[in-house]
Amino acid sequence: MAARLSIRSYTFVSHTHSHDFHQLVLPLVGTVDIDTGRHEARGASGQCIIILAGNEHRFAPEKGSCFLVADMEELPSNIQSLQHSFVRISGPMQAFCQFVQKQLEYQVSPSIEKAMGECFLSLMADQTFLPTMDPRIARVVEYLEKDLEVSPSLAELASAGYLSLSQLKMLFKNETGKSPGKYLLTRRMEKAKALLVHTDYPVTLIAAQMGYQDLSAFSHRFTSHFGFSPRKLRAK
């Protein structure tokens, strides 16, 4: 099973069709108003739009928009089980899609294209998909993620999302399942774990990048979160 990847920059105003293969549409630039045959909404960067084989779908792209499109005979099980046509993808997945765009626009190489299609499929199969996020909370999440070293106040987060404090607390929990503080902590620990495994950065540097100037405080928090210490992880 592999994905056939291509870059599309649609020039028509609106178009309706269907095909006998599944299709994933990932906006890179601009937006698209699309009816997948199951749901209708506007897709934008950071999303994956799922079109099932045989479903007649209609789309009207914004002028100048650009998309990574993956044609697939089979969908990974995590996508098959989704009830939504519009889901969010992770930041690293977005970065991979941008890399694919640069590579496909650079040269024709069947072997590289095949490898990228296989890698795309593996990455998508490993994604934890969530329904499209309220754009106000998406702005708050982006604000949190842009610098994990910083611990913004609730007032700053509310301002970033153009929300009141009560709206922020309610909507953020509804959209992410966590409070802003818990969300930030989880992202810090996940990023710290990745840096410990995949880099040789000193633990003190990783701690500082996660907002901890006190190494013992970072180690305690990491151990509490994962059940093992940063140094024990490094020793594996």
Give every CB contact of residue 232 below 8 A, 6+ residues apart in sequence.
none
pTM of the model: 0.74
Q: How far is 69 from 5, CA to CA, in rounded Å?
A: 6
pLDDT tens, position by position, for the chain (236 residues)?
679 999 987 665 567 888 899 999 999 988 888 999 999 988 888 899 999 999 998 888 888 888 999 999 999 999 998 988 999 998 899 999 999 999 999 999 999 999 999 999 999 999 988 777 888 998 898 899 889 999 999 999 999 999 999 999 999 999 888 999 999 999 999 999 999 998 999 999 999 999 999 999 999 999 999 999 999 998 87
φ/ψ (deg, to 5) at 196: -65, -35
Distance of CA 10 to the CA centre of its chain: 23
Q: In which residue are the tokens 């899609």 written? A: 97
Q: 160 by DSSP, 3-state: which?
A: helix
H or E stretch at 123: helix 110-125
CATH numbers and ranges of domains, the chain: 3-131 (2.60.120.280), 135-235 (1.10.10.60)
